[in-house]
Amino acid sequence: AQSVTQPDIHITVSEGASLELRCNYSYGATPYLFWYVQSPGQGLQLLLKYFSGDTLVQGIKGFEAEFKRSQSSFNLRKPSVHWSDAAEYFCAVGDPSSGGGADGLTFGKGTHLIIQP
Amino acid sequence: DADVTQTPRNRITKTGKRIMLECSQTKGHDRMYWYRQDPGLGLQLIYYSFDVKDINKGEISDGYSVSRQAQAKFSLSLESAIPNQTALYFCATSATGYGYTFGSGTRLTVV
C-alpha cells in the first residue's frame, strides 16, 4: 500500500524568507505526486503536480517542487514567502496504473505553515 | 459559481439522525469522491464513483452510504449519525491527467 509522510506538523517562517516543506512517499514505482494548499475555512487547491518528465515542477503562487526518485521525496519550495501563504499544505500520491489516482489519492497528514512578520 | 459545490456548508445534527450531504459539479468530470478530514489526520477516502453505475468503497466507508444521481451529483449519507463522525467532509472530482478539484467542504457536528 502506498503511504505519504510529511515529517513536519508545524513550520514557522519569517515573511520574505525561503520555504521548504518535506514530503516522502512509499510506493513500488513512481507515483503521481501532488501538492495542495488549504487556507482556513476553504477547500483544497492544487498547487502543482508531477506525472513524469522534468523533475522540477513549477506551480501556482510561486511554488515549485522537486521529485527525487533516489530519496522518494517530493519537497515543496518557495524562495520568498508572503503572509498570505499561511495555510495547511498537503502532499498526495496517486497510483499511475489507475489513471493517476482514479481510485483515490493518498494524502499526508499535512504541514501547518505559520508566517512571522 | 464554484466548480464543485457542497451543501450545506455547516450542519449540526443529533446522534442517531440521518443526514445527507450533497455535492454537485460543473467540471464535466466522470470521477467523484467523498473525503473526510480530521485534525492531524489528513484526508481519508470514504467513497468514490466513476459513473452513476460504478460506486466503490474507500478506506473508511463503514457508517456511510452514497448515491450518484447523475454525472454531476454525488451525495453522502450518514444513516445514523454518531459523534465520532464529526469532521470536515470534502467532495472532489477528477479526470485523467488532472489533479482533483475540491469543494469548499461541509463541517458536520454530531451532538
For residue A38, the model assigns a pLDDT of: 94
Q: Which residue has the higher pLDDT, A88 or B97?
A: A88
Contact criterion met (CB below 8 Å) for B109 and B9:
no
Q: Which residue of A has its CA nearest to B100?
A: A46
Answer whether B41 sits within 8 Å of A109, measured CB to CB.
yes
User: Distance, in angstroms, between A43 CA and closest chain B CA?
Assistant: 4
Q: Which residue of B has its CA nearest to A1?
A: B59
Least confident of A72-86, B5-19, B96-110: B96-110
* CA angle centred on A81, ends A75 and A85, rounded to 5°: 85
The pLDDT tens digits for B37-91 are 998 888 999 999 999 999 999 999 999 999 999 999 999 999 999 999 999 999 9
Select from B100, B101, B107 the residue whose CB has the most chain A CBs within 10 Å, as the one to mutate to test that interface: B100
Q: Helix (H, G, I), strand (E, B), or coil: what is residue B48?
A: strand
Q: Where are the alpha helices (DSSP H) in chain B?
A: none
User: Distance, in angstroms, between B15 CA and closest chain A CA?
Assistant: 25
Residue B1 pLDDT class (50, 70, 90 cuts): low
Positions of E strands within chain A: 3-5, 10-14, 19-21, 24-26, 32-38, 44-50, 56-58, 64-68, 73-78, 87-94, 106-107, 111-116
The pLDDT tens digits for A1-13 are 789 999 999 999 9
Give the CA distances from residue B62 to residues B13, B65, B91, in Å, rounded to whole numbers and listed in that order. Answer: 19, 8, 17
Chain A contacts to B (CB-CB under 8 A): 4, 9, 34, 36, 41-46, 49, 51, 90, 99-105, 107-110
At B93, the amino acid letter reads T
Query: For residue B30, which of B47, B45, B50, B46 has the smallest C-alpha distance?
Result: B50
A vs B: CB pairs below 8 A: 58
Per-window interface: B 7-66 vs A, CB < 8 A: 31, 33, 40-45, 48, 50, 56, 58-59
For residue A34, the model assigns a pLDDT of: 94
Per DSSP, A80 falls in state S
Give A-chain residues touching B103 at CB under 8 angstroms: 43
**Cell 452514497 appears where?**
B66
For residue A100, the model assigns a pLDDT of: 63
Answer whether A100 sits within 8 Å of B56, measured CB to CB.
no
For residue A42, the model assigns a pLDDT of: 83
d(CA A37, CA A61): 11
The pLDDT tens digits for A14-64 are 999 999 999 999 987 888 999 999 998 888 999 999 988 899 999 999 999
